[in-house]
Amino acid sequence: MKAFFRYLFILGSISIVLILLWASMDKLVRLSTMSNVSNGHIVQAVDLHYQGHLWLAYFHIIPGLLFLALGAYQLIPYFRVRNYPIHRTVGKIFLLLSLVIFSTAIVLAIIYPFGDWLETITTILFGSFLLFCTYKAYTAARSLQFQAHRNWVTRIYFIAIAVSTIRGMVGLFMATGNYTMQEIFGIAFLLAFALHFFLVELWIKYLAD
């Protein structure tokens, strides 16, 4: 039974990461071609909303893409044990990227939220928690507490990819109710982050090696 839930969790996480990789690359293309009216893309309100602060969006999304790729590499046991010096170097880059992504997420949510106050509050709450996890992951590694280090990094990765689940929730709310994207952004943020927080604690307590 434990093996079944482990595979379910791992397969679910891989799907979530792949969707987020695709959505983030698509977003980058949309943002970079937004000013070109002849490109045939339909410019949506959620894209136009970034027009005045594109650099900040790039500074969040590009490190986000690297974070997804490097985090996946770090969490696969085969790569982790194969070459420890690479694990250490990639790990430092991953933690630096985490600092950039979570800080820019908080700035975006405070200064330029697309949704309501709930998006801002949820991002401040989980963004700060993720910054705390980043600090703990680093100090645990420095003091050679490798099990604790692995748990903090697992939390960082799995809670951060909740941004992919947010997209699914937004789609679900919009398909089943008469809501605009702007109205349901905040509640989707809260539900997705709370769900990922709960699931990663279950993984760490009952399913991890």
CB 2, min distance to ligand HEM, A:
27
Concatenate the DSSP letters of all residues of 108-175 into one string: HHHHS-SS-HHHHHHHHHHHHHHHHHHHHHHHHHHTT-HHHHHHHHHHHHHHHTHHHHHHHHHHHHHH
95 touching ligand HEM, by CB under 6 A: no
Q: Please give the residues from 138 up to 177 whose contact with ligand HEM meets the rule CB under 6 A.
A: 160-161, 163
127 touching ligand HEM, by CB under 6 A: yes
The Cα 135–Cα 51 span in angstroms is: 33
Do 185 and 109 meet the contact criterion of CB atoms below 8 Å apart? no
126 touching ligand HEM, by CB under 6 A: yes
123 touching ligand HEM, by CB under 6 A: yes
20 touching ligand HEM, by CB under 6 A: yes
Q: How many residues bind ligand HEM (CB under 6 A)?
A: 27
Picking from 119, 95, 103, the residue whose alpha carbon sits closest to that of residue 169 is 119
Q: State which residue, 69 or 145, has the beta carbon closest to ligand HEM.
A: 69
Choose the binding region for ligand HEM from 7-15, 80-88, 101-109, 200-208 (rule: CB under 6 A): 101-109
Residue 187 CB neighbour total at 10 angstroms: 19
CA atoms within 13 A on the CB side of 34: 18
118 touching ligand HEM, by CB under 6 A: no
Q: How far is CA 184 from CA 152, 169, 192, 193, 209, in A?
A: 30, 9, 12, 14, 37
Q: Please give the residues from 41 up to 80 whose contact with ligand HEM meets the rule CB under 6 A.
A: 46, 49, 60-61, 64-65, 67-68
Q: State which residue, 114 or 145, has the beta carbon closest to ligand HEM.
A: 114
113 touching ligand HEM, by CB under 6 A: yes
Q: Which residues would be at the binding site for ligand HEM (CB under 6 A)?
A: 20, 24, 27, 46, 49, 60-61, 64-65, 67-68, 101-102, 105, 108-109, 113-115, 119, 123, 126-127, 130, 160-161, 163
